[in-house]
Amino acid sequence: MHRKIALAAVAAASAVVLAACGGSGGGSSSSSAAGGQGDCPGADAFCIGLVTDTGKVDDKSFNQSAWEGALEAASATGGYAKYVETVDPKDYENNINQFIQAQYDVIVTVGFLMGEASIAAAKANPNVQFIGVDQFQGEEIPNLTGLVFPEDKAGYAAGYLAGLMTKTGKIGAVLGTDTVPPVKLFGEGYKAGALAANPSVEVTLVYHAPDNAFNDPEWGAAEAKKQLAQGADIIFGAGGNTGNGALIEIAKAPGAGESIFCIGVDTDQFFTVPQAATCLLTSAEKKLTLGTRTLIEQAQAGTRKGGNYFGLTGLAPYHDTEAAVPDDVKAKVAEVIAGLDAGTIMTNVTL
Amino acid sequence: MSTTDPARTDLGFTDPDPRRGGPLDRLPAIVIPVVSVLLAFAIGGILIWLQGVNPFQAYYVLFSNALGTTEGLLRVMQKSTPLILTGLAVTVGLRAGLFNIGAQGQLLVAALGTAWAGYNFQMPMVLHIPVALVFGMLCGAAWASIAGALRAYRSVSEVITTIMLNSIAIALVDYLASEPFKEPDQPLTRTPEIAPTAMLPTFGIVPSGFLIAIVVAIVFGWLLSRTTQGFRFNTVGLNPSAARYAGISVKGTILLAMAVSGALAGMGGAIETLGVTGRFEPAFNAGLGFDGITIALLARANPIATIPAAILIGTLRSGAAALQFQTGIEPEVVDVILAITLLLVSAPIVARLLFRKRNIKQTQVTQGWGS
């Protein structure tokens, strides 16, 4: 008995520690030159540093879109781009400092949670330009621009489409934590849009607990399954890997792409989560890559301003589910997106 | 051996006389951990080499960044501090025959309790720091005592209960930090900042928390080897039946050991709050308790040895970002090295049990798990 217990205990300990360490993705090495990617060769070159939030640079969501924007900007400006991935949120400052010490010109910090570290670094280093992706700036700091998006508009458009498309009259959403405002704006915008399209639709929103909110695909999958079992036929997944877990689960459901659909978030997830392509109706897109690229180019040109820069939102193409969406629905949704952009349609979402 | 307590987990750390026993026991205690670490670095080096980077250069970058600069040294000390204490927490448990996997949960509960005492109380610094520290330790001790009491009175394996209490602690602190104790008028899940009077000072580049942790480790080295209470822990860990026969209260010792273990893990969380984070924010304490398991096993349940073991892990974690910045190797390689180390230091435990206890007849009708 002892031996078995000891073996079990050691196995349990190993499993716990390994689980705590988290998965290690196969990201590309930042030293291998590809496009404008590589080490900063010196003070004369235009160098772009990017610090990810806790998560990998190939997370198929936020970090990845911002990194792609940095790469595009690097090739457009003839500069160099490099990233550091954050493992422990206590290291935000240290990771930003790696780039400051190496005299990078622009430092992109990705994610809402890095907001305070970015502000502190920007204040301490007035000669370095900072771009805070998804970081709303309450106070204007000249060398820091927050790249923010009207997520409620993107969510509203997705919800409007879902409200028109649902057959069961029930739709759902599996979301990262509601303590992060952009996530809540997506969720509440989705609900408002769905109700605008169809006042009798039943919308279920479920938010993850704050801890590990964006990297819990198992939870996302389980919640998606639950909502499907309750009769939801369209589910919006928004929250990094947690949302991706929901999308992938829905793609496995019988009728996926015919009577069951999923909606992605942030980027066109047809490309970033191909496993979900069969059910993916569209994605509530933040044009993150474009926004990051634009701000970096502005930084190089000297036209970047402090405060907030509002990026564009929209819905990604329908791709494989194109045929399943009636033409009149497409027309109505396009009309709503135009109205949102023009400001003639208000989402009326407040936090 | 124990035939009366089915929840007992024998990990081979409870034998006070290492000269007896199988062939592995004749090696000096330091050989197995050192060989394990070297092997883990070698395997990690192969993984680094497979990614096209010279492993010697990678390790040089990692260690020189962590230990070769003032900021690096400060970070190493900051990161090692809670690890020394969670390592000690697991160590104290192991010596009394308890495998406390719940250091993470105890640390979380304590970190939150400390933050609460830190921002809620108004008092001078000489009082505020010890009060907040002790308050946090009591929170950790109370949390661990749930598992201790279940083990002592109901023979429920502490391995199971502490793992489950970890999950409960995560949910509990998330709730408390996002509802009643949340810092108002901002969206993040976190408590308000602690009062300046509760902040642990830094002497030059040496954080006072680091010094506290070292002193505590030395004190526990003495307590466990030179005092009656330490003898009780070791005896209960070695053989509860003999301990009972000798008049030692086994239940009382288990309760006390678990509470002390929780208090030590709690101290790790408390110092982290008072010395580094300045408030409670759930994600900021990730993994500290689990690293404590690796450290205790690497230190072979020797309190003094938790200091170098924790500093090693603190150094690896501290240098990881520079490793990626300068060589492109992903920071998770550190977790791989630690996981391999853990497997290697655990393996001799298994081997030892296989060598020594094969011929022991098991006659009891068991009530516990794993039989």
- A302-345, pLDDT tens digit by residue? 999 999 999 988 899 999 999 999 999 999 999 999 999 888 99
Distance between CA atoms of residues A67 and A350, nearest Å: 30
Contact of A271 with A292, CB cutoff 8 Å: no
Strand partners, A278: none
pLDDT at A3 over 80: no
Q: Which candidate from A22, A31, A90 shows the least CB-CB separation from B328?
A: A31
Cα A256 off chain centre by: 23
- Closest alpha carbon to A84 in B68, B330, B319, B334: B330
Q: Do the chains contact at B189 and A179, CB–CB below 8 Å?
A: yes
Distance between CA atoms of residues A16 and B84, nearest Å: 19
CA distance B18 to chain A (A): 19
| pLDDT band at B9; cut points 50, 70, 90 | low
What's the rounded mean pLDDT across residues B67-88? 94
Contact of B235 with B14, CB cutoff 8 Å: no
Out of A171-180, A186-195, A272-281, B355-364, pick the least confident.
B355-364
Q: Which residue of B has its CA nearest to A30?
A: B328
Q: Which residue of A has its CA nearest to B361?
A: A1
Contact of B114 with B235, CB cutoff 8 Å: no
| Any A CB within 8 A of B320 CB | yes
Give the phi and the psi of residue A287 in degrees, each rounded to 5. -80, 70
- Residues whose CB is less than 8 angstroms from the CB of residue B313 and which lie 6 or more positions away in sequence, other chains included: B79, B80, B83, B291, B294, B295, B338
| pLDDT band at A8; cut points 50, 70, 90 | very low
CA distance A132 to chain B (A): 17
pLDDT at residue number A55: 80
Beta carbons within 10 angstroms of residue A217's beta carbon:
21
pLDDT at residue number A104: 94
In residues, how long is chain B? 371
Give the domains, in start order, of chain A with CATH numbers: 33-149+289-310 (3.40.50.2300), 151-286+318-342 (3.40.50.2300)
Q: Which residue of A has its CA nearest to B335?
A: A21
Distance between CA atoms of residues B294 and B83, nearest Å: 10
Q: List B residues 60-89 in contact with A (Cβ-Cβ < 8 A).
A: 71, 75
Distance between CA atoms of residues B305 and B9, nearest Å: 22
Give the SS3 label for residue A237: strand
Q: Do the chains contact at B52 and A29, CB–CB below 8 Å?
A: yes
For residue A119, the surrounding DSSP H or E stretch is: helix A115-124
pLDDT at A34 over 50: no
pLDDT at A19 over 90: no
pLDDT at residue number B150: 97
Q: Do the chains contact at A3 and B189, CB–CB below 8 Å?
A: no
- B193-205, pLDDT tens digit by residue? 999 999 999 998 8
pLDDT at residue number B283: 82
Q: Which residues of A touch B366 (CB under 8 A)?
A: 1
Percent of chain B, pLDDT > 70? 86
* Structural tokens at position A261: 């659909």
Percent of chain A, pLDDT > 70? 90
- Residues whose CB is less than 8 angstroms from the CB of residue A88 and which lie 6 or more positions away in sequence, other chains included: A54, B284, B286, B287, B317
Beta carbons within 10 angstroms of residue A123's beta carbon:
12
pLDDT at B369 over 70: no
* Structural tokens at position B308: 């170098």
pLDDT at residue number B2: 41
Give the sheet arrangement for strand A80-84, strand by strand.
A80-84, A47-51, A106-110, A129-133, A144-148, A307-310
| Any A CB within 8 A of B282 CB | yes
- A151-192, pLDDT tens digit by residue? 999 999 999 999 999 999 999 999 998 888 889 999 999 999
| pLDDT band at B22; cut points 50, 70, 90 | very low
Q: Which candidate from A3, A24, A25 shows the least CB-CB separation from B353?
A: A3
In residues, how long is chain A? 351
- Closest alpha carbon to A152 in A116, A196, A192: A192
- B236-246, pLDDT tens digit by residue? 998 899 999 99
Distance between CA atoms of residues B83 and B332, nearest Å: 18
Q: Do the chains contact at A16 and B12, CB–CB below 8 Å?
A: no
Give the SS3 label for residue A171: strand
pLDDT at residue number B27: 58
Q: Give me chain A's average pLDDT, please.
A: 87
* Amino acid occupying residue A182: P
CA distance B174 to chain A (A): 7
Strand partners, A238: A175
Q: Which residue of A has its CA nearest to B164?
A: A16
Give the domains, in start order, of chain B with CATH numbers: 23-356 (1.10.3470)
Q: Give me chain B's average pLDDT, please.
A: 86
Q: Can you spell out the DSSP letters for A273-328?
A: -GGGTTTEEEEEEE-HHHHHHHHHHHHHHT---SEEEE--EEE---GGGGGGS-HH
Which of the residues B273, B317, B325, B335 would you substitute to probe the A interface, choosing the one with the greatest number of A C-beta atoms within 10 Å? B325
pLDDT at residue number B351: 56
Where helices occur in chain B by DSSP H, the ranges are: 31-50, 55-67, 70-95, 103-120, 125-154, 158-178, 208-226, 228-238, 240-245, 250-272, 288-298, 306-327, 333-356
Q: Do the chains contact at A32 and B328, CB–CB below 8 Å?
A: yes
Residues B326-343 as b or e (16 or more Cβ within 10 Å = b): bbbbbbbbbbbbbbbbbb
Output A236 or B330, whichever has higher pLDDT. A236
What is the count of residue pairs from A and B with beta carbons less than 8 Å apart? Answer: 167
Q: Which residues of B touch A18 (CB under 8 A)?
A: 335, 339
Distance between CA atoms of residues A119 and A137, nearest Å: 9
- B168-184, pLDDT tens digit by residue? 999 999 889 988 998 98
Distance between CA atoms of residues A44 and A50, nearest Å: 19
Q: Which residue of B has its CA nearest to A102?
A: B325
CA distance A156 to chain B (A): 22
pLDDT at A300 over 80: yes
pLDDT at B268 over 90: yes
Q: Which residues of A touch B294 (CB under 8 A)?
A: 17
Q: Can you spell out the DSSP letters for B235-251?
A: HHHH-HHHHHHTT--HH
Output A11 or B286, whichever has higher pLDDT. B286
C-alpha angle B17/B22/B24, rounded to 5°? 85
Out of A275-279, B128-132, B344-348, B358-362, pick the least confident.
B358-362
Give the SS3 label for residue A84: strand
Q: Which candidate from A2, A181, A211 shows the least CB-CB separation from B283?
A: A211
| pLDDT band at A256; cut points 50, 70, 90 | very high
- B137-160, pLDDT tens digit by residue? 999 999 999 999 999 999 999 999
Q: Do the chains contact at A29 and B328, CB–CB below 8 Å?
A: yes
Tokens 């394990």 -> residue: B36
CA distance A91 to chain B (A): 8
| pLDDT band at B12; cut points 50, 70, 90 | low
Which of the residues A88, A136, A207 would you substitute to probe the B interface, choosing the one with the greatest number of B C-beta atoms within 10 Å? A88
How buried is residue A336: exposed, middle or buried, by Cβ count under 10 Å (0-12/13-18/19+)?
A: buried
Q: List B residues 217-246 in contact with A (Cβ-Cβ < 8 A).
A: none
- B303-323, pLDDT tens digit by residue? 999 999 999 999 999 998 889
- Closest alpha carbon to A189 in A143, A236, A223: A236
